[in-house]
Amino acid sequence: MNTNLLNALEQDYIVNGIEDRVAEPSIIKVIGVGGGGSNAVNYMFEKKIKDVEFAICNTDRQALLKSPVPNKIQLGASLTMGLGAGMDITRGREAALETIEEIKALLGGSTQMVFITAGMGGGTGTGAAPVIAQIAKEEMKLLTVSVVTAPYSWEGSSKKEQALEGIEQLKKYSDTVLVVLNDKLEELFEDMAITDAFAQADGILLNAVKSISEIITTSGNINTDFRDVEKVLKEAGQSVMGTAEVDGDNRAHEAIRKALDSPLLNDREITGAQRILVTLASSKRREATMKEQREIWKYILSQVGGEAHLFKLGTIIDDTLGDKLRVTVVAAGFDSVEPPIPGVKARRPTAELPVEEPPIVVIDEVEPEEPKEEKVEIIEEEVKEEPTILPQNFPNKVNSTPTSDFTPSPYIEQQQTNYIPIIHEHKQFPLHYDDQRVPQDSMSGRLEREDWSAEEYSRIKELVERFRDKKRINWDELDKGPAYRRSQIDLWRKPAIPAHEIEQIRLD
């Protein structure tokens, strides 16, 4: 896991110990991606689904903080800086690619099946959901089911085309993709208040996930386990779903009829479907009978137009239904493929997502060329002698640079210039503190041999003689105070040092 990035942004809430905790018995995970997907999973988390683990992935840090779901991953923390993807699917895709290791950790453990829910058309959901699906299906080898919504028709062609692009990517990297059109939800709940209608829309996604997952996690009269569901949904491609709840004496017939006439089927009949998964839910107070079960599967086969290649029917107990019977049908494996969003074509071919092996870089061996001798032209110029500048008067010696009035022509082709490094020789004067090692004559002779000016020679010789003659040094005078006071140096621009903080050290 990219711990440096998480620590840098202090986002310890993002991944809640996914790698460290003991693998939980749940084999199903439901992951909400982006704003729409996260809202749907928040709703599912509050309503509860038996033995299912929830998580959300989003680029929006504020949305993550508000979510009650315990498992959260912030996508692209360094890329988006905690903000959304801004309707940019490329940015959403890159945000997911930046957080691959965290996604793999989330999908690890005992997970065998993953639901990915997202709203298509936005930036994060459309861009990141296919990346997560590809990791789950191709790298983690999980049964991957994507349940997504498509935008309203009035949201514009650009958003619908972008949504279609995301759906096509999901179809490539998911075992099955279930698309719910917002326009169809609007038909179902057109008389409801907006808030209630959105809750009902989240309820549709909840029912889609619950109907499939609880076949595995809940034991009914017919125990359809994970392997049975896997056979139906594995590599099933695009699927459609219909659901209905009915009570009364003729509830079985009415429920299956309404389910297959549901707007959620996107005006598509199930004729020719080769894979069918049916969930029959009822309460203990009025449990479904064998007669109702037979009536349902006979009606489905009559609508398919023959025998389906795979047909699985599971029954579950849901005491919240009371006297109602809920039938949910998922159909896939159609002979003809219809566009997920009617009347919308993809604006460009979908690109391969770069989550697999890194590209192999081949470096050709290049034989080294023999170095060519370059002729360096040395131009000698006459340099006028300048007056000597004494170091005691000017601490920083600056060499003047001769100026030139030459202006290069713009029509002269520039050529490579070879520069000769200029090495400055610095005269060194070794200081010796032992009178026995350096005789007086040797020191004086050295001073005479050096190229010193008369004033420099006199000053240096005076300093040497002073340090050689210990009797001329007044040690008591050195103990009287700091050097700047003895030398009468004005330090009015600097803060004075209290006398009690000055440490006096004798040099003898």
The per-residue pLDDT for range 314-332, each reduced to its tens digit, is 888 888 889 999 998 888 8
Q: For residue 267, tell me if it sits in a domain.
A: no
Q: Which residues of 336-356 are buried (b: 16+ CB within 10 A; e: fewer)?
A: eeeebbeebeeeeebeebebe
The pLDDT assigned to 80 comes to: 81
Q: For residue 143, tell me if it sits in a domain.
A: yes
Residue with the two structure tokens 């010789």: 461
Work out the average pLDDT over 443-463: 70
Query: Any known ligand binding at 442?
Result: no
Q: For residue 23, tell me if it sits in a domain.
A: yes
Sheet holding 143-150, edge to edge: 71-74, 52-58, 28-33, 113-119, 143-150, 176-181, 237-246, 325-332, 275-282, 310-317
**Which range has the worst mean pLDDT, 1-5, 62-66, 136-140, 436-440?**
1-5
Q: For residue 465, tell me if it sits in a domain.
A: yes
Helical packing angle, 194-217 and 226-233, nearest 10°: 120
Q: For residue 64, tell me if it sits in a domain.
A: yes
Residue 9 amino acid letter: L
Q: For residue 238, tell me if it sits in a domain.
A: no
41 and 117 in contact (C-beta within 8 Å)? yes
Q: For residue 259, tell me if it sits in a domain.
A: no
Per the structure block, which two tokens stand in for 86?
């801004």
Counting DSSP H helices and E strands in the chain, the numbers are: 17, 10
pLDDT tens digit sequence for 114-170: 999 998 888 888 999 999 999 999 999 999 999 998 888 787 778 888 888 889 999
pLDDT tens digit sequence for 329-366: 888 887 655 555 555 555 544 445 554 444 444 444 54
Residue 475 three-state SS:
helix
Query: Any known ligand binding at 39?
Result: yes
34 and 129 in contact (C-beta within 8 Å)? yes
248: left (phi over 0), alpha (psi -120 to 50) or beta: left
Give the structural domain span for 61.
3-174
The pLDDT assigned to 6 comes to: 38
pLDDT tens digit sequence for 392-427: 444 444 455 555 555 554 444 444 444 444 444 444
89 and 165 in contact (C-beta within 8 Å)? yes
pLDDT tens digit sequence for 32-84: 999 889 999 999 998 888 788 999 999 989 889 999 999 999 998 888 888 87
Domain stops at, among 155, 174, 193: 174
Per the structure block, which two tokens stand in for 160?
């619908």
Is the pLDDT at 382 greater than 60? The verdict is no
CA angle 12, 18, 20 (to 5 degrees): 100
Closest CA to 42 of 202, 249, 217, 165: 202
Residues 6+ apart with CB under 8 A from 469: none
Number of domains observed in the structure of the chain:
2
The pLDDT assigned to 311 comes to: 84
Domain stops at, among 143, 174, 205: 174
Query: Any known ligand binding at 289?
Result: no
Query: Any known ligand binding at 155?
Result: yes
Q: How far apart are CA 117 and CA 421, in angstroms?
A: 68
Query: Which helix (H) or strand (E) element contains residue 77?
Result: helix 77-80
Query: Any known ligand binding at 125?
Result: yes
Q: How far apart are CA 467 and CA 469, in angstroms?
A: 5
Q: How far is CA 65 from the centre of its chain?
A: 17
Q: For residue 281, tell me if it sits in a domain.
A: no
User: How crowded is residue 225: how many other Cβ atoms within 10 Å of its Cβ?
Assistant: 12
256 and 284 in contact (C-beta within 8 Å)? no
pTM for this prediction:
0.61
Per the structure block, which two tokens stand in for 248?
């009364």
Q: How far is CA 61 from the centre of its chain?
A: 12
CATH number at residue 125: 3.40.50.1440
**Which range has the worst mean pLDDT, 10-19, 238-247, 423-432?**
10-19
Task: Report the DSSP pairing between strands 28-33 and 325-332.
Answer: unpaired
Select the highest-mean-pLDDT range: 50-54, 172-176, 388-392: 172-176
Residue with the two structure tokens 């930036």: 123
Query: Any known ligand binding at 37?
Result: yes
Query: Any known ligand binding at 474?
Result: no
What dihedral do alpha carbons 123, 126, 128, 134 form, nearest 10°? -160
Domain stops at, among 174, 194, 218: 174
